């Protein structure tokens, strides 16, 4: 470990100074005998005064301490429960089921695995959603999945955007499952063309009586 050169110079100068001290110098530097006794007496007096001025802690018997801790614990649990109840109620979003249908790969494009899933049309807080879940989803470089609602003639269709996993997708205002009952998930190339590629992964039909508008 390297030492700071300034520290070494200081130590050398200090040693030189100590060596140059004479006996008379040491006697002058020695403190009188009564000085230390006065300092000790002053310290004791200061400590005693500080202890007298300090407020005394209230001693609680052990049994009462346990009771206080128990009461505090019960109040804390009650407060947590009071907070948890509204959070649970807020997190429990009520959704009305309008229609449901399985999603199948039967008669569609073939892949290494067989995709399948389900579609649920629900309404929550005035907004209609498609709850989509698809398993065995194919993955191809440069391609993505797109979610569609299609009419029975397979001519008119509406894109609900890329399929990014099993969750809810908002149905645009003015679009009804009665008019577009077919739910389709397609595999789309990254060519920027907004139309259906013709490669459907899964497809299913909601009951025509279901309405989303």
Say yes or no to pLDDT of 144 above 80: yes
Mean pLDDT of the chain: 74
Say yes or no to pLDDT of 86 above 80: no
Domain spans of the chain, in order of start: 1-56, 58-92, 96-205
Can you tell me the mean pLDDT for 181-202? 92
> Which of 36-45, 66-75, 199-208 shows the lowest mean pLDDT across its residues?
66-75
Is pTM, for the whole model, over 0.85?
no
Greater model confidence, 98 or 63: 98
* 175 confidence band (pLDDT: 50, 70, 90): very high
| CA distances for 112 relative to 109, 117, 162, 182, 191, angstroms | 10, 16, 22, 24, 24
Class of 96-205 in CATH: mainly beta
| 163/160 Cα distance (integer angstroms) | 8
């Amino acid at each position: 470990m390297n030492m700071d050169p300034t520290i070494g110079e200081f130590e050398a100068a200090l040693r030189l100074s100590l060596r140059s001290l004479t006996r008379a110098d040491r006697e002058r530097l020695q403190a009188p005998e009564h000085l230390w006794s006065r300092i000790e007496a002053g310290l004791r007096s200061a400590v005693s005064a500080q202890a007298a001025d300090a407020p005394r802690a209230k001693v609680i018997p052990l049994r009462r301490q346990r009771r206080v801790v128990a009461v505090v614990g019960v109040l804390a649990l009650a407060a947590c429960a009071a907070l948890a109840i509204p959070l649970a109620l807020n997190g429990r979003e009520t959704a009305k089921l309008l229609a449901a249908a399985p999603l199948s790969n039967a008669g569609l494009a073939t892949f290494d695995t067989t995709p399948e899933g389900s579609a649920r049309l629900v309404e929550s807080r005035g907004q209609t959603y498609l709850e989509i879940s698809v398993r065995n989803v194919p993955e191809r470089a440069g391609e993505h999945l797109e979610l569609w609602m299609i009419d029975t003639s397979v001519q008119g269709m509406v894109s609900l955007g890329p399929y990014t996993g099993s969750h809810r997708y908002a149905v645009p205002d003015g679009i009804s499952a009665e008019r577009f009952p077919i739910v389709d998930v397609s595999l789309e190339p990254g060519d920027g063309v907004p139309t259906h590629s013709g490669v459907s992964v899964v497809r299913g039909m909601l009951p025509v009586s279901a309405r989303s508008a």
